[in-house]
Amino acid sequence: MTTETINYYVFDSITKDDDNQYWGHKNGNIAEVFVLSSEDESLLNKQGFAKCDAEDWAETMLVEESAWSALIS
């Protein structure tokens, strides 16, 4: 049985705005992040998500792989 490993990224910070939307900040850029909705890493990986957090944030979040890639390129 093959286990897929989900990527894990660290933002400089994560904030929540007045509309209850979460944003990950990295090197002056931002990407939308989401509350972790599943612990099934294989499923999350297939859906294009990675786990993420920040030093100032207490919980693990999700970020779309495409959003992270655009953020750091």
Residue 45 lies in a domain: yes
**Looking at the predicted structure, is the pLDDT value of residue 61 above 90?**
yes
- The pLDDT of residue 2: 52
Least confident of 26-30, 36-40, 47-51, 58-62: 36-40
Of residues 1 and 65, the one with the higher pLDDT is 65
Domain that holds residue 58: 12-72
Number of domains observed in the structure of the chain: 1
Q: What is the mean pLDDT of the segment spanning 39-54?
A: 94
Question: 20 lies in a domain?
Answer: yes
Residue 28 maps to a domain: yes
User: Residue 3: what pLDDT?
Assistant: 57
**Which residues have CB under 8 Å from 48's CB, separation 6+?**
64, 65, 66
Note whether residue 33 is domain-resident. Answer: yes
> Does 5 map to a domain?
no
